[in-house]
Amino acid sequence: MTQDAAAPTDDSGTQPIIGHRKPHKEEKRTVPIPATLEEFADKLEAEIGYKTTFDIVLREMTFGDRRVAFFFYNGFAKDTVLTEVLKRLTYLQAEDYGAASFHDFFRLYVPAIQVVEESDWEKMLTDVLAGGTAMFIEGESKVLLIDAKAFPARNPEEPTLERVVRGARDGFVETMLTNVTLVRRRLRDKQLRYEIIRVGERTQTDVCIAYIDDIVDHEMLEAMRDKIKNLKIDGLPLADKQLEEATVKRGWNPFPLVRYSERPDTVAVHLMEGSIAIFVDTTPSVMLLPTTFFDLLQHAEENRQTPFIGTYLRWVRFIGVAASLFMLPLWFLFTLKPELKPPALDFIGAQKAGRLPMVAQFLIAEVGVDMLRMASIHTPTPLATAMSLIAAILIGDIAVKTGLFVNEVVLYMAVAAIGMFATPSYELGLANRIIRLVLIVAVASFKVEGFVAATTIFFIMLVMERSFNRPYMWPLIPFNLKGMLSILLRVPVLQNRKRPIYLKPQQEDRMPNGGESR
């Protein structure tokens, strides 16, 4: 489905056909369009299962002495547009059809908003598979591709993972044209570019690269474009996640190297900073790249409040993330090595031992929280809340009363779980959980040395990581004072004058000409 961001959609999910993708550097050999209607139908029957697949329609008609056929998939076609085309053709007289050339049909006789000529059989099939309608005219070497699409779609609604108290309530959906239009509505910049590339030998998935032409680093843009164009893969049925794995190639690294967002305003902000946004059809999330560890800790709610309150919320989130990482391992370490505790923290530590070893209690609790999370996802919505309360209260209480767990394990595990869910990036929250598990095992095995060594190794791993050749731990390493202040503080809009330098934007100043807008 080739899409154009400027075209509107209606509530039914209808989308206009769109301009064709740019040709690749190496195009396949052109396959000609058959000359007769019989050959056209036979070729469809042989290649795509016409007369076998029930949703393939070939509507044959004769206007004057011209034999015409409309080829489309029944589930994608918008009958109102095609009906208007047929009405216009039926009003013509026989002598008009006899003298009509292909260009007459193209320019005069087909009343659709977007119609394009196509002489390649393979490209014609691809566009029809993406929802278009092909108009075949016997004796012509080309077909007309008519925009008559009506995709199943839902209306934009607020994303469940990125809710805000104040702010827009619209979010991305599974239809790419709707998504790029939501961003275009917020970014009325003539430099905003949307490039379409089809990926996947079988799925032919539409991938859109979005950027602001006079801000983005073109070297990074070209590298990303080449990665996607040269990708050899059977298909992307799982959309953006498979595209990320195929292009980033991070292997077994648990930390996310791209940021996902389902909010149009968040994507617009990142585009204005110089990032690249990747839209993939059939998914409601957008990839933002490159990203840093600290980008993954940002949330739109902070910018919907005053700078002071936004800074407070940001610090609360930082504390929650830090607690989810280190509170359990440190408490475990103080329990095993009480002499390390300062006098003011004498109350920290297990008051009594459980029947299970402490490390086993931690591991069982971690797996139990993950099981609760997965169970809540697969439980019908009306029952999910009740199930979570029953599992969290009853199971935890019974585990403590029977002596399997100690109270402190349940307490600190709950705090760590809250910190994980307070992490804006779901992928980063899961990665932090893995780090916490490794720290617990390291403390159980080697005490202080294990905690220090494991923490150091993970920090070095983060420092050495790069997201599309950008330092993952910027602005901490390499250290940048202004960048670090913008992370720690929610700076007022008019004082936040510079774009992040790690993105290498063409225009570093957000407000050129002395602070006046362009």
Cα distance between residue 243 and residue 239, in whole Å:
6
| Contact predicate 386/379, CB 8 Å | no
Cα distance between residue 208 and residue 317, in whole Å:
32
Distances (CA, A) of 474 to 44, 294, 386, 466, 501: 55, 8, 42, 10, 10
Question: Which SS3 state, helix, strand or coil, does residue 15 take?
Answer: strand
Q: What is the DSSP letter of 305?
A: S
Q: 376 and 248, same structural domain?
A: no
Count of structural domains, the chain: 3
Cα distance between residue 250 and residue 466, in whole Å:
10
Whether residue 501 lies inside any domain: the answer is no
Residue ending a domain, among 246, 265, 291, is: 291
Whether residue 479 lies inside any domain: the answer is no
Global confidence as pTM: 0.83
Q: 118 and 265, same structural domain?
A: no
Select from 464, 435, 486, 461 the least CA-distant residue to 298.
486
DSSP track, 215-240: TS-HHHHHHHHHHHHT---S--TTTH
| Contact predicate 243/236, CB 8 Å | yes
Res 346: pLDDT: 75
| Contact predicate 63/45, CB 8 Å | no
Q: 307 and 272, same structural domain?
A: no
Cα distance between residue 148 and residue 75, in whole Å:
11
**122 is in which domain, residue-wise?**
37-146
DSSP track, 138-161: TT-S-EEEE--EE---------SS
For the chain, report the end-to-end CA distance as a whole number of angstroms. 35
Q: 424 and 338, same structural domain?
A: yes
Residue with tokens 């990482």: 325
Whether residue 90 lies inside any domain: the answer is yes
| Contact predicate 172/179, CB 8 Å | yes
Torsion of CA 73, 77, 81, 84, to 10 degrees: 40
Cα distance between residue 422 and residue 429, in whole Å:
8
Select from 494, 22, 498 the least CA-distant residue to 274.
498
Buried b (16+ CB within 10 A) or exposed e, 83-107: eebbeebeebeeebbeebeeeebbe
Whether residue 24 lies inside any domain: the answer is no
Q: What is the DSSP letter of 498?
A: B
Per-residue pLDDT tens listing for the chain (518 residues): 344 433 444 444 444 433 444 444 445 688 999 999 999 999 999 999 999 999 899 999 888 778 889 999 988 888 888 888 888 887 776 666 655 567 777 777 787 778 889 999 999 999 999 888 999 988 888 999 988 887 777 888 888 888 888 888 889 999 898 999 999 999 999 999 999 999 998 888 999 999 999 999 999 999 999 999 999 999 898 888 889 988 886 677 889 999 999 999 999 999 999 999 999 999 999 999 999 999 999 998 888 889 999 999 999 999 999 998 998 898 888 888 888 887 777 777 666 666 778 888 888 888 877 877 777 777 666 666 656 666 666 666 667 777 677 778 888 888 888 888 888 898 999 899 899 999 999 999 999 999 999 999 999 999 999 988 899 999 999 999 999 999 999 999 888 888 999 999 999 898 766 444 44
Res 448: pLDDT: 92
Q: 411 and 307, same structural domain?
A: yes
Q: Which burial class, exposed, middle or buried, applies to 367 when counting CB atoms under 10 A from its CB (0-12, 13-18, 19+)?
A: exposed
Q: 348 and 231, same structural domain?
A: no
Q: 451 and 372, same structural domain?
A: yes
Q: What is the DSSP letter of 297?
A: G
Q: 282 and 375, same structural domain?
A: no
Cα distance between residue 467 and residue 488, in whole Å:
21
Q: 270 and 312, same structural domain?
A: no
Residue with tokens 């026989």: 94
Half-sphere exposure for 118 (CA within 13 Å, toward CB): 24
| Contact predicate 335/359, CB 8 Å | no
Res 389: pLDDT: 60
Residue 478: cis peptide before it, omega within 30 degrees of 0: yes
Who contacts 2 (Cβ-Cβ below 8 Å, separation ≥6)?
Answer: 17, 18, 19, 20, 21, 127, 130, 196, 198, 206
Phi, psi of 146 (to 5 degrees): -105, 135
Q: 353 and 455, same structural domain?
A: yes
Buried b (16+ CB within 10 A) or exposed e, 466-503: ebbebbbbbbbeeebeebeebbebbbeeeebeebbebb
Q: 184 and 59, same structural domain?
A: no
